[in-house]
Amino acid sequence: MNAEIAQAVLRYYDIPNAQLTFLGQSQNITFRVEILTGDKFLLRLHVGIEAAGDSYHDIWREPLVIQSELLWLNAIAQIEKLSSERQEAIAALFLAELQDEKKWETRFAATTKGQYME
């Protein structure tokens, strides 16, 4: 299901024909995304609070914390020195509601588009 969410995010941001590679899951689910130009970036999905079952890390799944992180990413993208050395970073919040086992979950996905570092 997470790959389907990632594909939905890519469609939402009009990134067609991208190759997704699952990287891992901890507090987030991460994918490497490679587009037709050969550029790569990271797509990180925040796991919904209801689905996590891990009260220790719940704070990192709160919408205000996620929004704070996105503001930080946008601030980094505005630094001219970083922008000249890397592609411009774009951070955005995508909210999707999905029905999973007759239960609605809210999931947040943060995307950071820039040079992917392996």
Q: In this structure, is residue 118 part of a structural domain?
A: no
98 within domain boundaries: yes
Give the pLDDT confidence of 48-79 residue by residue, as tens digits. Answer: 555 555 565 666 667 787 778 777 766 766 66
Domain count, the chain: 1
* Model pLDDT for residues 72-92, shown as the tens digit of each residue: 766 766 665 554 444 333 333
Name the DSSP letter for residue 17. Answer: T
How far is residue 30's CA from residue 47's CA, in Å, rounded to a whole number? Answer: 10
User: pTM surpassing 0.75?
Assistant: no
- If one compares 78 and 96, the residue with the highest pLDDT of the two is 78
User: CATH number, domain at 34?
Assistant: 3.30.200
* pLDDT value of residue 114: 43
Domain that holds residue 56: 2-113
Query: In which band, very low, low, confident or very high, does the pLDDT at 21 lie, cut at 50, 70 and 90?
Result: very high
